[in-house]
Structure 1
Amino acid sequence: MAKNQGGFREESFAVFMQAPCGRLLVKTVLKDLGMPNQYKELKKYKKTFFSAVRDSCKPVKTTVYINKDFL
């Protein structure tokens, strides 16, 4: 909060916009700072569901063995 009391710095909120609990925290802090309308500008930092899944999940190779074909 101290960084944003003099002026609004949206990059300080970018990390928190990635998770639902972080977005709730951002709304609360903006309300405490008296700038609840600034939340609209921060929505550009929110990732879509599919991009969040793509960034957080790693591909896994799966091998299926049938009968006695395994090593």
Structure 2
Amino acid sequence: MSNTDSQLVVIPPPQKAVYDSHDAAEAALHQWTRDHGFNLSRRRVRYTDGPDRQVWARNYECDRAGAPKKHPAFN
């Protein structure tokens, strides 16, 4: 497969769990991704409407998502 070909990789999801805080959930998520050979980056945070905006959703993206990265070692 060349560097320009697409590749589909199916990664099983982490086990469901309840965490005491977002920081604890994110730490567990990053540990799980490291254990499976990849990483996630935070992409978007969504807030509730109103003066006391609360975080209600956080989106993450695989570090290998999208077009192949331009890197001198691979060109």
TM-score (norm 1): 0.36
Which structure would you say has the larger RCO, counting Cα contacts within 8 Å and 6 or more residues apart?
1
Q: Which has the higher strand share?
A: 2
Q: Which has the higher helix share?
A: 1
